[in-house]
Amino acid sequence: MRDHNYHGTKADITPGLFVFGGYDLFFIEANRAGYTIYRDGVYFASVVAQIRTHQYRVKANGLSERKKAIEAGFHIGRRLGNKFNARFAILQDISKTHKSWEAELLIYRAEHFGNLRLLTAIGLQLQSSGLVNYYYGTSTYHPDKALGAELEMIATYRLQKWAVFSGLRMYWYNKSVSSSSIAAAANITQFFSGFGYYF
């Protein structure tokens, strides 16, 4: 289930394929994939690419289409101890969609309770004015950079080679988004659930 924060749009429910995991230096985290170029047990760095799946819209109710962007960049991180990790990422649009960038600081932790794994992440994002204008600008409104916050929680219960999982992603943005006449709210909510298989 994906909520769209535009007037005249409704949340959509669609089937999808989610991949989490990695092989050697390659990894996939749902809509983001990467290749690790450095890690020493404390610090790590990767080149990454992602599809922007939470900010887009189809043409409907007087709104023009705003496509999902393909973005690439890098992230660097550090293990903080007590299962906490910090990661900084910067991503540039390479699909000529919004033609701009986003920076993100994320702190996350994975905890195990028997067969149950809970991943929790809290992030801060800075979106460039070009990105915000592409998704929320109008002929009379040209927003500046936007600050955002993200909360993500994914619970996975393993059953031998199979697992059930549920996840929640929530995004909140400042007035650069909420002041747009086409924005119905300053937040976006995504929920996903399904079955998984361990390879």
Buried b (16+ CB within 10 A) or exposed e, 130-148: ebbbbbbbeeeeebebbeb
Given the candidates 2.40.160, 3.40.50, 1.25.40, 1.10.8, the CATH classification of the domain at 20-197 is 2.40.160
Other beta carbons less than 10 A from residue 167's beta carbon: 18
pLDDT digits (tens, 9 = 90+) for 162-176: 999 999 999 999 999
Q: Report which of 17, 16, 100, 20 is spatially closest to residue 55, judged by C-alpha positions.
A: 100
**What's the pLDDT at 14?**
83
- Distance between CA atoms of 101 and 163, rounded to whole angstroms? 35
Q: What percent of the chain has pLDDT above 90?
A: 77
Per-residue pLDDT tens over the stretch 111-155: 999 999 999 999 999 999 999 999 999 999 999 999 999 999 999
Q: Where are the domains of the chain?
A: 20-197
